Amino acid sequence: PVIRREDYKPFPWRVPTTRLDFALGVEATRVTATLAVEPNPDAEPSSEIRLSGDGLEPASVTVDGHGSNSWRMEGSDLVIPLEQGAHELTIVTQIDPSANSQLMGLYASGGMLCTQCEAEGFRRIAFFPDRPDVLSTYTVRMEGPKRQFPVLLSNGNRTAAGEGGDGNHWAEWHDPWPKPSYLFALVAGDLVARTDTFTTMSGRTVELAIWVRGEDLPRTEHAMESLKKSMKWDEETFGREYDLDVFNIVAVGDFNMGAMENKGLNVFNTKYVLADPETATDGDYDGIEGVIAHEYFHNWSGNRVTCRDWFQLSLKEGFTVLRDQLFSQDMQGEAVNRIEDVRLLRSVQYPEDSGPLAHPIRPDSFREISNFYTATIYNKGAEVIRMMRTMAGPERFRQGTDLYFERHDGEAATCEDFVRAIEDGAGLDLTQFRRWYSQAGTPKVEVELEHDGETATLTLRQTVPPTPGQPDKQPMPIPLKYALFDRATGAHRGEELIVLDGTETQIAFGGFADKPVLSINRGFSAPVSIERDTPVEDLVFLAANDDDSFARYEAMQELIVGHLVAAVGEGFSGDDREAGRAAIGRAMTAILADAGLDDQMRGELMMLPSQTYVAEQLLVADPGRIHAEREALKGWLGQRLEDDLVAMHARASKASDGMDAAARGARKVKTQALVYLAAGNPDLAAQMAAAQYDAATTMTDRQGALMVLAGLPGIERTNKLIEFYNRYRGNALVIDKWFSLQASSLHPEAIAHVKALADHPDFTLKNPNRVRSLYMAFAGNPHAFHDPSGEGYRMIADLILALDPLNAQTAARFVPPLGRWRRIEPGRAALMRAQLERIAATPGLSRDTFEQVTRSLG
């Protein structure tokens, strides 16, 4: 059944309090849920209460202290007739956590028990109005064998604990803040904690704890530091203070997503907790800092103010991503962070927005909400709120968010509530801007700069492309930051902001004897595609001179994308190719030589646009041709710039130990140098990579070297892959890297390698991190996935079919790569479609996979 936003109705009952009693066991856990219910004065009264369940059977149902037999099951829901007035319902269920391979609800991971309830996992634990607008105050008691589960955790504060009979012990937890069921959590296991304290701005002391397996304890320091920084930053930047006496984080090895913001008890994928320089890359460190912050920030944007229904998911996710992005920018520096955020948006969200799965940041319908935890809801959602901030300025934006938190604290709110609070608090008129919430598709902005006499005229024209179910679009307000540079002086006349709110606008600027150079969408002020014909020399100029770091990066990207798109098109001559490469070579040489650049930024400027991003510029792409042109350009640059790259690698190698920004930058450019050299001079690169590998004092250097080696045939590849495996055998997160590096490699035999790795004793379909490390890496490896034989497509389809019965949520995440078929040349498109049809024809598909496959077939 399709669920529609317009069908929203408040639940007829309120549930002021919920008491949960767990008799814990890995194979059998008995749950006794006691719900105080009363009619909801804001809803139409009902003579029954419908409680969601998923795979549950009621062992007993008691209404107001009397055993009831007037209940019935409707599908998986429990329906109990109920007279108006207040009642107490007690329902007993029994579940088997060890059999829960979906990792939703209560499940076992490495001997411990833990929960994941967002979005609809609570109904796999107990019958309940499992919807985000039913808020209740929870008291949880759990009892179980002390040897097996020495640590017992739930939301809020621990109010009592004690010993039971038969080696059991128990604990009781109370969360004073009313919350929806998706924020419930329970953990029971043999865990140890890194503890610390944080004093809030009003002077309260909060006990912090990060719970992990004993051997992982030394790798929790960075997570704890990140948590304390996040708490401080949210007080300073958004005025948000933490509201419980304890804040617990638990790391689990089996987890469908990154992490979960359960009230006072965040549950994390180990990937976003554990780090030390020997086993985690600089990127892993940043990922941990960002996800710890993200989940912590949800305490206000998500928990204190939650969502009315799941169509409002971006209310909490878009806003919280923006908050974690602003935090990371403040911690790490704005320039590089912004570029990384945009790279992610354009490589994942843009393809989503231009394909069969396109949806607005506030969708109108879905079958399975798990399929809507997307880059659109999260990352485009963040960009939409960022635009409001850009238009209001940070101070007025803050007044808007203050008003939002004040108005809606304790409520289940809507995106509309958020927009209205920003309007009122920041003093903006967002009437037209609301279209960003309802219309899908990445707007295109055509930009033209004409020059005549002393006048430069800027013309901007927008179109929003049609998307499934939305053939016609209205223009949306698009805030664009721009500057006009004087060619002679290399300086501009001040950055301005223009909001393009109609289809087309024109502005004239006087006093330009020569045609200026236009820098537009500076700082990526709007999530749009800029289309313009900028002369190559202007791009080279901006890549060297723009004072906006993002714009500088963008000029470089535009230069290279323009070249590759032309190169794979018709009528591109050998001379055109030489001229294009020469311009890129000039710009790259300047970047390598620029003493004013720090290495982190240099590393960004050196990066070639991804193959997906290049393909995105074409109506129909030939992945083989793009790959060949892109690799050829890399090889050409590797050869032309060989001396500079080797020198840079040597220079950076002397400065790449330690965890400070300079050393991180040095590591980044070292591996970048190897990437180009591998394409230009493979023997030299293999030798340098092997040396970098042997000398590495950090995982960043070691992984960078191994990544390059994994793509180069030769003995060093085999040697180092074996060395790496033996060195880290038993460390799951590092072995994940070992799988990934091979699956994403440029090696011509990558397909065969992935097949062999699927049979490796360390491979299992039961662990989502391992599945993703092999198959997501593979699906994102263009030359392997798009092998003209169609073998890559078949392998992903086989995976989906094998995984779907075990873990539907994770299986469904592999559908989008196949769903791109409309934008791929006809030969491969037919092969991709055939695989989707094969999946669609398989009986017994999960709702998750069924929805994604049918949408993808269109």
Query: Pattern 245-264, binding to ligand ARG, x per CB under 6 A?
Result: -----------xx-xxx---
Asked if 458 contacts 448 with a C-beta cutoff of 8 angstroms, the reply is: yes
Residues in the interface with Zn ion (CB under 5 A) total 2
Q: Which is nearer to ligand ARG, 345 or 601 (CB)?
A: 345
Which amino acid appears at position 834 of this protein? A
Q: Which of 21, 54, 118, 341 binds ligand ARG (CB under 6 A)?
A: 118
Please give the backbone phi and psi of residue 620, each rounded to the nearest 5 degrees, phi first.
Answer: -135, 125
Question: Least CB distance from residue 740 to ligand ARG, whole Å?
Answer: 22
Give the binding range for Zn ion (CB under 5 A) out of 265-273, 311-319, 324-332, 345-353.
311-319
Question: Least CB distance from residue 771 to ligand ARG, whole Å?
Answer: 15
- 255: closest CA among 271, 277, 231? 271
Q: Which is nearer to ligand ARG, 115 or 529 (CB)?
A: 115
The partner in contact with residue 373, picked from ligand ARG, Zn ion, none with C-beta cut-offs of 5 to 8 angstroms by kind, is ligand ARG
Longest Cα–Cα distance in the chain: 93
Q: Which is nearer to ligand ARG, 118 or 383 (CB)?
A: 118
The partner in contact with residue 388, picked from ligand ARG, Zn ion, none with C-beta cut-offs of 5 to 8 angstroms by kind, is none
Residue 366 touching ligand ARG (CB under 6 A): no
Question: Least CB distance from residue 388 to ligand ARG, whole Å?
Answer: 21
Q: DSSP of 644-713, one letter per residue?
A: HHHHHHHHHHTT--SSSHHHHHHHHHHHHHHHHHHHH-HHHHHHHHHHHHHH-SSHHHHHHHHHHHHTS-
Q: Which is nearer to ligand ARG, 256 or 681 (CB)?
A: 256
Question: Least CB distance from residue 301 to Zn ion, whole Å?
Answer: 9
The partner in contact with residue 257, picked from Zn ion, ligand ARG, none with C-beta cut-offs of 5 to 8 angstroms by kind, is ligand ARG
Cβ neighbors of 566 (< 8 A, separation 6 or more) are 572, 576, 580
Residue 436 touching ligand ARG (CB under 6 A): no
Question: Least CB distance from residue 260 to ligand ARG, whole Å?
Answer: 5
One of 295, 352, 368, 629 is an active-site residue; which one? 295
Asked if 440 contacts 336 with a C-beta cutoff of 8 angstroms, the reply is: no
The partner in contact with residue 119, picked from ligand ARG, Zn ion, none with C-beta cut-offs of 5 to 8 angstroms by kind, is ligand ARG
- 345: closest CA among 322, 370, 328, 312? 322
d(CA 64, CA 96): 28
Residues in the interface with ligand ARG (CB under 6 A) total 14
169 three-state secondary structure: strand
Q: Which of 128, 373, 485, 775 binds ligand ARG (CB under 6 A)?
A: 373
Site for ligand ARG in 784-843 (CB under 6 A): 809
Question: Least CB distance from residue 187 to ligand ARG, whole Å?
Answer: 16
State how beta strands 265-269 and 246-252 pair: parallel
Q: Which is nearer to ligand ARG, 295 or 787 (CB)?
A: 295
Q: Which is nearer to Zn ion, 155 or 320 (CB)?
A: 320
Site for ligand ARG in 664-703 (CB under 6 A): none
Q: Which is nearer to ligand ARG, 259 or 799 (CB)?
A: 259
d(CA 51, CA 74): 10
The partner in contact with residue 672, picked from ligand ARG, Zn ion, none with C-beta cut-offs of 5 to 8 angstroms by kind, is none
Site for Zn ion in 317-376 (CB under 5 A): 317, 320
Summary count for the chain: helices (H), strands (E): 31, 31
Report how far apart, in Å, the C-alpha atoms of 643 and of each of 115, 307, 540 are: 55, 56, 22
Q: Which is nearer to ligand ARG, 250 or 260 (CB)?
A: 260
* Torsion over CA: 482, 488, 489, 493 (sign): negative
Q: Which is nearer to ligand ARG, 91 or 415 (CB)?
A: 415
Which amino acid appears at position 333 of this protein? G
Give the binding range for ligand ARG (CB under 6 A) out of 15-23, 112-120, 648-656, 778-786.
112-120
Site for ligand ARG in 295-334 (CB under 6 A): 295, 317
For residue 119, whether the previous peptide bond is cis, meaning omega lies within 30 degrees of 0, is: yes
Question: Least CB distance from residue 369 to ligand ARG, whole Å?
Answer: 7
Give the binding range for Zn ion (CB under 5 A) out of 1-9, 91-99, 314-322, 743-751.
314-322
Question: Least CB distance from residue 307 to ligand ARG, whole Å?
Answer: 10
- Burial zone of 548 (CB within 10 Å; 0-12 exposed, 13-18 middle, 19+ buried): buried
DSSP state, 806?
Answer: T
Question: Least CB distance from residue 360 to Zn ion, whole Å?
Answer: 18
Q: Which is nearer to ligand ARG, 371 or 462 (CB)?
A: 371
State how beta strands 151-154 and 87-95 pair: unpaired
- 115: closest CA among 51, 174, 183? 183
Across 412-443, the runs of DSSP E, i.e. the strands, are 412-413
Residue 548 touching ligand ARG (CB under 6 A): no
Residue 340 annotated to the active site: no
Question: Least CB distance from residue 377 to ligand ARG, whole Å?
Answer: 9
d(CA 25, CA 189): 11
779 three-state secondary structure: helix
Distance, C-alpha 28 to centroid of its chain: 34
Enter the tokens of residue 382.
């963040």
**249 has which bridge partners?**
210, 266
Give the binding range for Zn ion (CB under 5 A) out of 159-167, 309-317, 664-672, 828-836.
309-317
Residue 605 touching ligand ARG (CB under 6 A): no
Asked if 812 contacts 850 with a C-beta cutoff of 8 angstroms, the reply is: no
Which amino acid appears at position 238 of this protein? F
Enter the tokens of residue 422.
């920003």
**49 has which bridge partners?**
80
d(CA 544, CA 536): 12
Question: Least CB distance from residue 181 to ligand ARG, whole Å?
Answer: 13
Residue 370 touching ligand ARG (CB under 6 A): yes
Cβ neighbors of 818 (< 8 A, separation 6 or more) are 793, 796, 797, 832, 835, 836, 856
What are the residues binding Zn ion (CB under 5 A)?
A: 317, 320
For the annotated catalytic residues, the residue numbers are 295
Give residues in contact with ligand ARG (CB under 6 A): 116, 118-119, 256-257, 259-261, 294-295, 317, 370, 373, 809
